[in-house]
Amino acid sequence: MKYLDEYRDPDLVMQYAKEICRTVTRPWTLMEVCGGQTHSLVKNGLLQLLPDTLQMVHGPGCPVCVTPLHLIDQAVYLAEEQGVILCSYGDMLRVPGSRRSLLESKARGADVRILYSPLEAVQIAAQNPGREVVFFAVGFETTAPANALSVLHAHRSGVRNYSILASHVLVPPAIEAVMNDEDTAIQGFLAAGHVCTVMGLAEYYPLVERYKIPIVVTGFEPTDLLQGILMAVQQLERGEYCLQNQYSRVVRPEGNPQARHVIETVFEVADREWRGIGLIPKSGYEVRTAFAQYDARCKFEISLDKAPENTECISGLVLKGIKKPYECSQFGKKCTPQTPLGAPMVSSEGACAAYYHYAGTTQMTS
């Protein structure tokens, strides 16, 4: 298949892997930010092709995984106590809250629905004028345009029984938080290509200069990742640091101005709590006051006490790249995709789920 098969070409993958092995002369530690990159690395057996002295650390780039526990509880509260039609993407339904997940709420009779687009939720609201409809809007900058557009569409269409429960997080502040952690050993980053497709590259140049680290924007196919890793280690071996765009077939320096305009119209940057990590300043989007009637937290005046995290789950250490999933004592035992203790075992971008499903893969998959 054109534009896909060539990026999974086993011969080209091996060429890149061999070049990485020839290039690396000393230990290096890189972090791939996005969970989609993690899944590709693990699923396609790419980690086994890298030299032992090159360590790939899995970052906090899974928006489902870093959605705070109290936001899950708020979604459950809206579905059960307020009787709304609660809509979201499929992964969010299985993430455990302090009492239960949204999927468990659905089993108890709550009207919880899996959708593929927030615009579907606006349509449901229009079709059910006597019901409140809430879309659990989760994601990085990548999904923010669609969620913001749903608010604009509802506003222009006069649909007043629609709102969103926003849980958007931003990648550059997460990279900054990782580098500011006194325990970090990260020497370079693979940045998420889909985020940069929307936001462009401007936010990454200050990070490169401030922390003197290479950042390479990559795609998600095997050759994308290995080429990005090669570009990063070439910089490290030469004692250089700069921002490089491996994903230039998709990412433009300016990003997508129209999508950014939609985001900026509906959302404003705010402090955000990351599950397992804590508060990161200016790392999320909140609905602007001008659109407060579409902000579920304002509309329903939600006030719930924050519950503590499950002490058996080390998801915070996994998300910060300090621990690998298999270093958790409950990995594959008490914690499985069917009975998750934490979000990284649930999400299609979670590192724990990647290791559970694909660990041990030693060759390319078709």
Query: Following DSSP, what letter does each residue of 281-297 receive, concatenated?
Result: EEEEEEE-GGGGGGBHH
Angstrom distance (rounded) from CA 352 to CA 344: 5
Query: pLDDT digit string (tens) for 162-214?
Result: 999 999 999 999 999 999 988 888 999 999 999 999 999 999 999 999 999 99
Q: Could you identify the residue written with the tokens 């989609």?
A: 36
DSSP state of 341: S
pLDDT recorded at residue 3: 65
What CATH number is given for 1-360 in this structure?
3.40.50.11740
Strand arrangement, sheet containing 162-169: 112-114, 85-88, 133-139, 162-169, 278-287, 267-274
3-state secondary structure of 177: helix
List of residues 6+ apart from 288 with CB closer than 8 A: 265, 266, 267, 268
Query: Following DSSP, what letter does each residue of 285-336 receive, concatenated?
Result: EEE-GGGGGGBHHHHTT---PPPPPPTT--HHHHHTTSS-GGGSTTBTTTB-
Q: Where are the domains of the chain?
A: 1-360
pLDDT recorded at residue 128: 97
Query: pLDDT digit string (tens) for 49-98?
Result: 999 999 999 988 788 888 888 999 999 999 999 999 999 988 888 888 88
pLDDT recorded at residue 208: 98
| Weakly modelled stretches of the chain, pLDDT under 50 | 1, 360-366
pLDDT recorded at residue 144: 97
CB 125 within 8 A of CB 161: yes
pLDDT recorded at residue 366: 34
Q: Could you identify the residue written with the tokens 């902000």?
A: 295
